[in-house]
Structure formats: C-alpha cells, structure tokens
Amino acid sequence: MTIFDRLFRKKSHTQTHAEMQDSSGIAKDLFVEDRDPEELLRDISQTLESGPVSVLEELLGRDYFAMGRRVGLEDHHPEVMEEQLDLIAAAFREAYYREKTATLERMDTYKLELSPKTKEVMPYQYARIEKKVEHEQRRLEDIQIQIDLAGCGEGYIEQSVRQFKAGFRKGYTLWLDEEIVFRERKLL
C-alpha cells in the first residue's frame, strides 16, 4: 500500500441484514397491487368499449331538469329562462356545426379516391366509396335540418329544452312556496 491509498481510501462499513431492512424507505404498497388482475383487465376493457364521447352526446347527456330547477329557484324570471334556452340551443348548434365540418372533411377525403382510374382498376372499392359519400351526404342533410330546428327548440334538442322548462317550473314553484311561507311568518 502506498501512502496515497492510506490517505484517500474510504473506510468500508458493511451493513448487517437488520440495518438493510430498516434503511428501506420504500413502501411495499407502492409496488404491490391488491386487486385481482382479472378485475383490472375488466375495468380497462369497459373503458375501451365505452369509446370517446362526442360533444353532441355529452350535451344530450346533461341533466337539464336539474339545471332548469336551479335557474328557476335562483333566478326566477322568465327572461332568464329564455336566455338559458338560447344558450342551450347555441351549444347544440355549435356541436352540429363541428359535426358538419367533420362530415365535409370526410366527404372530401372520400371524393379524392373517386377517380376514373380507381373505377377501372378497383370497381368494387369504387362502389363502396361512392356509398360512403352518399351516406355522408345524407348525414350532412340531417345535420343541416337539426341546425335549423335547434333555433326553435325542436329536433334532437327538443327533449333537452322540455326538461329544462320543466325543471324551471319546478324551481319557480319551490321559490314561490318559499316566499309564501316566509311572507306569512313575517306578517305574524
């Protein structure tokens, strides 16, 4: 050994088995899963099966009755109800416009494939693409009808509008009952 080894050498300290277990600061539950793997796979498959939710499906899935009841109870003026109905119709129209844009983009993509060369080389695929374009055209017409009907609260939006109005009436009735009860107590 040289003098440098003695000066710069670290003294090694070996830990015992008990010291090693005590120094372990990692929690066991961090790496151990308590659930059955089949249950985990079932949860994942249910999530994948549900698929992405479109904006329109999300709008249709809202609780418009509860929204109307809250508005009727808090802001019990018919003008507020009309404003809220206009906002609901605007949200639906926006979703329809987005869907219309996506449909037009799909149609343009399909139309790029419709060429005389494709018809000559692959007539079966050409016919399928034509059917897809026709389907998208019918879908586009339906979307345009729904955009027009959304302004007057009809079409697919009708159920949402009716639920909101029913909720508003319920909230308004609750507010009136509350006012009558408390007004009578104030008079006594």
Is residue 24 domain-resident? no
Say how far apart CA 68 and CA 89 lie, in whole Å.
14
pLDDT at 57: 82
Domain count, the chain: 1
Give the model's confidence band at 17: pLDDT under 50 very low, under 70 low, under 90 confident, else very high.
Answer: low
Is residue 137 domain-resident? yes
Task: Please tell me which residue, 74 or 13, carries the higher pLDDT value.
Answer: 74
Is residue 33 domain-resident? no
Residue 30 has pLDDT above 90, yes or no: no
Say how far apart CA 157 and CA 133 lie, in whole Å.
26
Is residue 111 domain-resident? yes
pLDDT (mean) for 145-165: 88
Is residue 50 domain-resident? no
Is residue 124 domain-resident? yes
Residue 23 has pLDDT above 60, yes or no: no
Residue 157 has pLDDT above 80, yes or no: yes
Residue 54 has pLDDT above 80, yes or no: no
Q: Does pTM top 0.95 for this prediction?
A: no
Is residue 72 domain-resident? yes
Is residue 167 domain-resident? yes
HEC secondary structure over the chain: CCHHHHHHCCCCCCCCHHHHHHHCCCCHHHCCCCCCHHHHHHHHHHHHHHCCCCHHHHHHCCCHHHHHHHHHHHCCCHHHHHHHHHHHHHHHHHHHHHHHHHHHHHHHHHHHHCCHHHHHHCHHHHHHHHHHHHHHHHHHHHHHHHHHHHCCCCHHHHHHHHHHHHHHHHHHHHHHHHHHHHHHHHHC
Task: Please tell me which residue, 44 or 138, carries the higher pLDDT value.
Answer: 138
pLDDT (mean) for 5-13: 63
What is the number of other CB atoms lying within 10 angstroms of the CB of residue 146?
A: 20
pLDDT in tens, 84-105: 999 999 999 999 999 999 999 9
List the domain range (segments joined by +) for residue 124: 58-188
